[in-house]
Structure 1
Amino acid sequence: MDRAELVELLSPEGLRLLDALPPWDSKADVLRTVENLRKQGHSPALVAAVLSQAKLRARAHVKFGEFAERMLFTEAGLEQATRLRVAALHAGRFARAGIGHVADLGCGIGGDALAFAALGLEVTAADADEVTAAIAAFNLTPFPHARVLHSRAEEVPLGGIGGAWLDPARRSTAGGRTRRFADPADYSPPLDFAFGLASRMPVGVKLGPGTDREVIPADVEAQWVSVDGDVVELGVWTGPLARPGIRRAALVVRGDEASELTGAADAEDAPDGPLGEYLYEPDGAVIRARLIGDLARANGAWMCSPGIAYLTADRAFDSPFAHRFRVVERLPAEERRLRQALAERGIGVLEIKKRGVDIDPAALRTRLKLKGSESGTLVLTREQGRHVALLVDRE
């Protein structure tokens, strides 16, 4: 979105028209909608702006729920925005630490700032992009104790502010193409600046879950967060925002439930052993936090093979930190024989999961030439270093 489009959108006519549009339907006749709006006398620029926002609002429901209907977005801002329920957890950290005024440096469209303000915290938010800062200001309008600056994070005056939250931009968009930054020095603001602030005040930093662990300072709490099976972020917490004795954490959010596994350091892997009756796939946050060994030891499980993130056990246990599969039978690992075994069982629909093997599941599924009315789940992995193919049932 450019400045001219934003001006159109923020006009009284633009906001009225946007709120009057029916919910976005990707299957609707968009050309007919455009034609009808143009017949009503709306300019082409305004029609394009409101339809773009309607589409973004529909996508934003995943992160913001019903609040999306009163917010504005940019494509990049929505992509990087924190889910509202995760942002509420961020805000809770600051509130529990007794920090009453938070600087949100690089606030984007204001997702985290909304959560801070909703808890009654005073918020100074800033973004280097003029359009993005204006959209954040619109989204924060209901909160008189929140202000938004059009400013680089490095230039925001921090006097009187008790703590800072940073979500550095990790990609750039130009000509409709997005490029991810590999070097943290290219983030906006750079990662060195973000962690450098920790010498002045408590700081929380949101990073991508796949961030190189080498850039994580040794004296912080690193918390990987998954939501409904997707690992969505790495939160790095310093000073009083970090919990004593915790350096690694995996927070697993499923629906309205949240569960956490924590450790003082990376956990040593559990010993490996023969396949048991059950196979367990740890949640991605547990894998990223390297707490698989603690999960195994807490439940009497062991590793299927060194360095591979599958656990196994002879008994069933329930855990929010792992999905359970019952091993039905071993199948031949060699592809020709595997195809024959699946055909004999009439399996025409097959979910393929794999760890520790160099196989493209989609390509393999095609080569297996599946036929039949049965469905199944196939796990391709290693057992104590040997390739195995396991037919399993989800439980």
Structure 2
Amino acid sequence: MDSAALAGLRRLLEPDGWALLEKLPPYSEDSAMRLSEGLRARGVDPELVAAALTQSRLRARATEKFGDFASGMLFTQAGLEQATRLSVGAHHARRYRAAGVSLVADLGCGLGGDAMALSALGIPVLAVEADEATAALATVNLRHFPTATVRHGDGLTLDLAAEGVDAVFADPARRAGGRRVFDPAAYAPPLPEVLGLRQDVPALGVKVAPGVPYSALPGDVHAQWVSVDGEVVEAGLWFGPLAPEGPGRSALVLAGDEAHVLTESGDVSGTASGAPDAPARSAVVREIGEYLYEPDGAVIRAGLVARTAEDLDAGVVSDGIAYLTSDSPTTTPFATGYRVLDHFVFSLKRLRAYLRERDIGRLTIKKRGTAVVPERLRKQLSLAGDGEATVVLTRLAGRQSVLVVEPL
């Protein structure tokens, strides 16, 4: 965090700064400049105005993750990007409650999202954050939870036994210089060092990026990929009493108020099976049927496409392509279904003619297994009709193809 941003946050923590922030109207990009100019004209310090409007903008964005809680929190851009959604944090917290733990060390607590979820269930939390400014913001965000304590420091140097910690949650930083870090060994702290904590505290949970390779997963982990309303947001690594499913991989699909879990052996009532670092099973390739299914991203990341295919009595449309096809319409929370209206080998000329004949002007383009860029294709098609359609660009039996579909 640069010095100007840090100074602005300090001003907001002063009584006049907090009062200004709380009086601001809901953030609007259209009116932000006018509001800024008005505050400065009234003699409000420009640095404080900039800091308050920045927080107002971040609070508006944070509503997606924190709901109504966002209006009383403080954020940084980087912290908000990595923060756990409260809906996901609630599922984390339930694992700790079910394990009967008495004190959770939240290492790398960031802005305090997971500590909030744990505290909401009455679980005492020691939240540790290496960045001083972020630790200060976490203190503000957790001010309403008396069972949460925030400490500035290096979580890996914490004497867990002396603190009475019997469970750990860790969220290592996955950005450096504003860029995402994909190598788990380059996390801060590195994932192998974090995983070493389970030698002292078996009840360990770690939040990692959804792209974590299976090769980075130890054999005793239950790895669960999580999607929220169709967007894959994280993978959670769970050990010891926090993983009653046992070692393996699963997908947690959150849609609205509903939660669905898929494991290799079945739904949430089943147990995980297979080595966490084993390659994903392959599904049988089938000719295109009457229906197409697009597995949820968490299902794909967890390597459970073949499991979903079995449940749908379906096969994949081509080797290595995570689109499923069958002749039966089935509703499942783990895949989005479409009725196949037509399909043909991909050709720009043929596709353009096909759509123009049907007066299509609004086109949804989905793709998998093809180098076609949807926005470039849309310009090349030059559509101007009144109708709308959905096309899927993929491979059928290895050939670049177009499927015209409609959602079930």
TM-score range, shorter chain: over 0.9
Identity score, percent:
51
Question: TM-score, normalised on structure 1?
Answer: 0.96
Aligned-residue offset at 1:387: 2.5
More displaced stretch, 360-369 vs 66-75:
360-369
* SS in structure 1 at match of 2:349: helix
* SS in structure 2 at match of 1:320: coil
Aligned-residue offset at 1:179: 1.8
| 2:21 paired residue number | 18
Instruction: For 2:8, give the aligned amino acid.
Output: E
Distance 2:180 2:258 in 1: 32
- CA contact 1:332–1:338 (8 Å) conserved in 2: no
| 1:156 paired residue number | 158
Relative distance call for 1:258 and 1:64 in structure 2 (3 A) is same
Correspondence 1:305-384 to 2 at 5 A? 305-384=318-397
| 1:213 paired residue number | 214
Correspondence 1:135-150 to 2 at 5 A? 135-150=137-152
More displaced stretch, 241-250 vs 97-106:
241-250
Which of 108, 126, 129 is the equivalent residue of 1:127?
129
| 1:251 paired residue number | 252
Aligned-residue offset at 1:339: 1.5
Q: Is structure 2 residue 404 aligned with structure 1 residue 391? A: yes
- CA contact 1:128–1:153 (8 Å) conserved in 2: yes
| 1:233 paired residue number | 234
Instruction: For 1:18, give the aligned amino acid.
Output: L
Aligned-residue offset at 1:71: 0.6
Which of 280, 292, 300 is the equivalent residue of 1:287?
300
| 1:270 paired residue number | 283
Relative distance call for 1:267 and 1:215 in structure 2 (3 A) is closer
Instruction: For 1:4, give the aligned amino acid.
Output: A
- CA contact 1:87–1:111 (8 Å) conserved in 2: yes
Q: Is structure 2 residue 97 aligned with structure 1 residue 95? A: yes
* SS in structure 1 at match of 2:320: coil
- CA contact 1:106–1:188 (8 Å) conserved in 2: no
Instruction: For 1:344, give the aligned amino acid.
Output: E
Distance 2:328 2:25 in 1: 52
Aligned-residue offset at 1:246: 4.8
More displaced stretch, 179-188 vs 359-368:
179-188
| 1:114 paired residue number | 116
Give the total of aligned pairs.
Answer: 390
- CA contact 2:17–2:48 (8 Å) conserved in 1: yes
Aligned-residue offset at 1:157: 2.5
Distance 2:44 2:378 in 1: 51
Aligned-residue offset at 1:220: 0.4
Distance 1:227 1:353 in 2: 19
Instruction: For 2:96, give the aligned amino acid.
Output: F
Relative distance call for 1:343 and 1:3 in structure 2 (3 A) is closer
Distance 2:222 2:17 in 1: 45
Instruction: For 1:207, give the aligned amino acid.
Output: V
- The Cα offsets for residues 222-256 of structure 1, whole Å up to 9 and x where unpaired, read as 10000001000000101111123451111100000
Aligned-residue offset at 1:332: 4.3
Distance 2:402 2:122 in 1: 54
Distance 1:357 1:35 in 2: 49
Distance 2:245 2:33 in 1: 58
Distance 2:41 2:347 in 1: 64
Distance 1:310 1:184 in 2: 29
Q: Is structure 2 residue 9 aligned with structure 1 residue 6? A: yes
Distance 1:290 1:81 in 2: 25
Structure 2: state its 5+ residue gaps: 265-272
Distance 2:206 2:116 in 1: 17
* CA RMSD, 1 decimal: 1.4
| 2:188 paired residue number | 188
Which of 73, 76, 79 is the equivalent residue of 1:74?
76
Which of 53, 56, 62 is the equivalent residue of 1:54?
56
Question: TM-score, normalised on structure 2?
Answer: 0.93
Structure 1: state its 5+ residue gaps: none
Distance 2:41 2:158 in 1: 46
Q: Is structure 2 residue 174 aligned with structure 1 residue 170? A: yes
Distance 1:285 1:377 in 2: 23
- The Cα offsets for residues 343-362 of structure 1, whole Å up to 9 and x where unpaired, read as 11211111111112221111
- CA contact 2:219–2:247 (8 Å) conserved in 1: no
- The Cα offsets for residues 291-342 of structure 1, whole Å up to 9 and x where unpaired, read as 1111111121111112110111101000000001101112442221221122
Q: Is structure 2 residue 200 aligned with structure 1 residue 200? A: yes
Aligned-residue offset at 1:277: 0.4
Distance 2:61 2:322 in 1: 32
Distance 2:19 2:302 in 1: 47
Instruction: For 2:309, give the aligned amino acid.
Output: A
* SS in structure 1 at match of 2:160: coil
| 2:33 paired residue number | 31
Instruction: For 1:253, give the aligned amino acid.
Output: L
Aligned-residue offset at 1:267: 5.2
* SS in structure 2 at match of 1:136: helix
Instruction: For 1:135, give the aligned amino acid.
Output: L
Distance 2:331 2:92 in 1: 28
- CA contact 1:267–1:294 (8 Å) conserved in 2: no
Relative distance call for 1:233 and 1:182 in structure 2 (3 A) is closer
Aligned-residue offset at 1:203: 0.8
* SS in structure 2 at match of 1:133: helix
* SS in structure 1 at match of 2:70: helix
Instruction: For 1:321, give the aligned amino acid.
Output: F
Instruction: For 2:367, give the aligned amino acid.
Output: K
- CA contact 1:329–1:390 (8 Å) conserved in 2: yes
